[in-house]
A and B are shown apart, each in its own frame.
Chain A
Amino acid sequence: MPTLPPPVREPAWPLSRSAIGLWVTEGVLGTLVIGLAAAVFLLVVPASVGGPVPVLRWLLPGLALAYAVLAIGVRPWVRFRVHHWEVTGEAVYTLTGWLTRTWLLVPISRIQTVDVTRGVLQQLFGLASVSVLTASSAGTVHVPHLAVDVAQRVADDLAHRAEQVRDQAT
């Protein structure tokens, strides 16, 4: 696969390293749900039903295993390497995703509200997310999984600066 340069530059700052722990936990939880579903299938549907069932009895556990490897062993690290964020003098800039990458740039002058959210899992890992909302439904920036104090500081700083440079052209 040729290594083409990314379409735009990468934001500079990585997320908190604890995010890896959180993503692994999410992967484990997802695996448990899928594993449970596969186990129920194996117990409830006997192989004697015929049709595609004998194939499915092998396929489903295999898929569950593959998901476990991807979601626990691979995805958290790829995500951590991809996800970056940055606050410059004029804008908030993020890069998210693991297969499909999304860069999002929002100028501070067009910020309408800044939210800090802490999910249940995030609280366990001492993390918080910052959401920056604009007038556009497509222009909402999520900076996931920052250390709580960093998130709070960033949100306060952004809200303060948005207040000062806000222009009327929403």
Chain B
Amino acid sequence: MTTLSATGARRTSPLIVLLHTITFRQARQFVPLVIGIAATVGYRGGTTTVVALVVGVTVLSLVTALITWWRFSYTDGPSSVVVTRGLLSRSERTVPNDRIRGVEVEAPALHRVFGLVRVRIDAAAGGLTRKDHDEELVVDGVTRAEGDRLRISVLTHRSTGAPVADHAEAPEPAEVEFARFDNRWLLYAPLVGSYLALPLAAAGALYRVIDDLRNSLLPQLAGPFLRDPRSLGLLAAVALVLLLVGSVVGAALVNWGFRLVRRGGSLIAVRGLITRRHTELEIDRIRGATVTAGLGMRLVAAARTNALVTGLGDAGRRGQLLPLGPRSEAWRLARRLVEDPGPLTTHPPAARRRRLTRALFPGIVVTVAGLIATAADGWWELLVAGPALVAMGVPAGLGRYAALGHATGPRSFAVRSGWLVQEHALLQRRAVVGWRVRQTLFQRRAGLATVVACVGAGSGGYAAVDLGAGDIAAFTAAASESWAATLSRPAS
């Protein structure tokens, strides 16, 4: 592969054919068909049929993998990256180097066995296509050395705009460690919704498998066993423990050995136990950071930190600077990237009334419906649920109000909101590409308004909810550049 010139088309490693054969990567689409055939033919043939099926599927998989490998090539030229593929309809995608926002090198477990990596070249465009996976070039199955060469080549071409000879790589600058994951932090995982969802998803998949087998193979558990309250309680306890352990294991799989280092102008995050991920973020493109913490995480002073990077696809995962950790660590990282504008200003009392009203409203509706139902039908269950909802609404409303805050500093500003998941966003002044002020009928009567800083990074907009209507012009002027004065300056 080294004999090819820098502009010549390159191929992925032939080993990838083997890997994709094993995993049925391309052949997966035929699986329903094969199952259908198997179902009609039946298993009456015994071993012969099974062997024939296995051989057939493997050959099919080998052929598809071979064709994919044969028709796939990529070129990292001085001005763009081109990926060509497809058997009948050839597709050739060209991504100019100046649109490439980042390169990710990942090594799933099987890839590591073969010494291969998968390179994702992220070329997210403007705001509208953020979720679009087509904005990504995937080169699957190159050697580790070639993967690193591709990453460095693409990133150097982009920053200098000039062709760089393959072998003349600049020596890698010294690394500065920003953060290192402490395995004790994995214990926070059961308090984070997304990690709790991991074992649930696994359980769901397992259930589907068991559901297929149930009639023939599973022992008969139902019956007297499930009616005994003690065994039911035991079952629930076991499920709970499994859930907790599963979330910790899930978090460990994803975040094992997390390390964040600065190398030259980039932040590099490496993590993962089975799949090693290597994400590179350009410091120049960082516009802000968020520190988020759910209800449970706040109880134990834990938080997570994300960087807001312009034009980064899949920002929630790739922008992670600290997937899980103590709040102090999360803040230390965030402050290292963005200047902290100082303590937050609380929002006016009208905002508290509005938060409370909104939190209590569903409970009140249910209570009224319950009153009607009780009077009309004697159906009292709703009447019990209503006041309970109202009672829960009080802490929710007060908590939501307590979360609200904003602050402006000389070079940055901050907004905070959310109760179940609280998000504190620190943003640079230059990050703002627009202001959106929204006022509903109710906000108009309460003298409030919500102002959203439109940012070309992260989720796209960060809101200061229920600001006093009179404070908006001052806040926007202090949090962005001179053009924001248009909001208050009389028409010329």
Contacts and interface: CB of A to CB of B under 8 A. Distances in A.
Interface residues of A, number: 40
A78 B445 CA distance: 18
Contact of B486 (A4, A5, A99, A105): A105
Contacts, number: 144
A1 interface: yes
A107 B433 CA distance: 7
B461 A8 contact: no
Contact of A140 (B127, B437, B472): B127
Contacts of B366: none
B491 A134 contact: no
A137 B313 CA distance: 13
Given A4-B469, A9-B488, A88-B486, A137 B128 contact: yes
A142 to B, nearest CB: 12
A169 B430 contact: yes
Contact of B433 (A88, A90, A103, A106): A106
A7 B470 contact: yes
B411 to A, nearest CB: 13
Given A100-B438, A135-B127, A137-B128, A106 B454 contact: yes
A11 B434 CA distance: 15
A170 B435 CA distance: 14
A22 interface: no
B440 interface: yes
Interface in B380-435: 430-431, 433-435
Nearest to B444: A4
A7 B348 CA distance: 14
Interface centre among B440, B444, B476 (most CB of A within 10 A): B444
A11 B488 CA distance: 10
A86 to B, nearest CB: 7
B336 interface: no
If over half of B's interface residues share one DSSP class (helix, strand or loop), that class is named, otherwise mixed; here it is mixed
A4 to B, nearest CB: 5
A137 B449 contact: no
A86 B311 CA distance: 29
Interface stretch (B26-34, B41-49, B134-142, B477-485): B477-485
Nearest to B287: A169
A8 B456 contact: no
A138 B128 contact: no
B425 to A, nearest CB: 13
B452 interface: yes
Contacts of B461: 136-139
A6 B434 contact: no
Interface in A45-76: none
Contacts of A101: 438-439, 444
Given A9-B491, A100-B439, A138 B460 contact: yes
Contacts of A139: 127, 433-434, 436, 454-456, 460-461
Contact of A109 (B437, B483, B491, B492): B483
B441 interface: yes
A112 interface: yes
A7 B434 contact: no
Given A105-B487, A135-B310, A136-B454, A100 B440 contact: yes
A7 B126 contact: no
A83 interface: no
A110 B434 contact: yes
B311 A170 contact: yes
A11 B461 CA distance: 22
Contact of B434 (A4, A99, A106): A106
A102 B431 CA distance: 21
Contact of B441 (A2, A100, A103): A100
A91 B486 contact: yes
B433 A8 contact: no
Interface string A108-124: 11101100000000000
B434 A141 contact: yes
Nearest to B128: A137
A159 B427 CA distance: 27
B460 A104 contact: no
A136 B435 CA distance: 11
A93 interface: yes
Nearest to A100: B440
B491 A5 contact: no
B5 to A, nearest CB: 32
B469 A5 contact: yes
B66 interface: no
Contact of A12 (B440, B487, B488, B491): B491
A133 interface: yes
B437 A135 contact: no
A112 B310 CA distance: 13
17 contacts: A4-B444, A8-B473, A93-B487, A99-B440, A102-B437, A103-B437, A103-B487, A107-B434, A110-B434, A113-B126, A138-B127, A138-B454, A138-B455, A139-B434, A139-B456, A170-B311, A170-B456
Given A9-B490, A134-B433, A139-B454, 6 more contacts: A8-B487, A9-B487, A100-B440, A105-B435, A105-B483, A134-B434
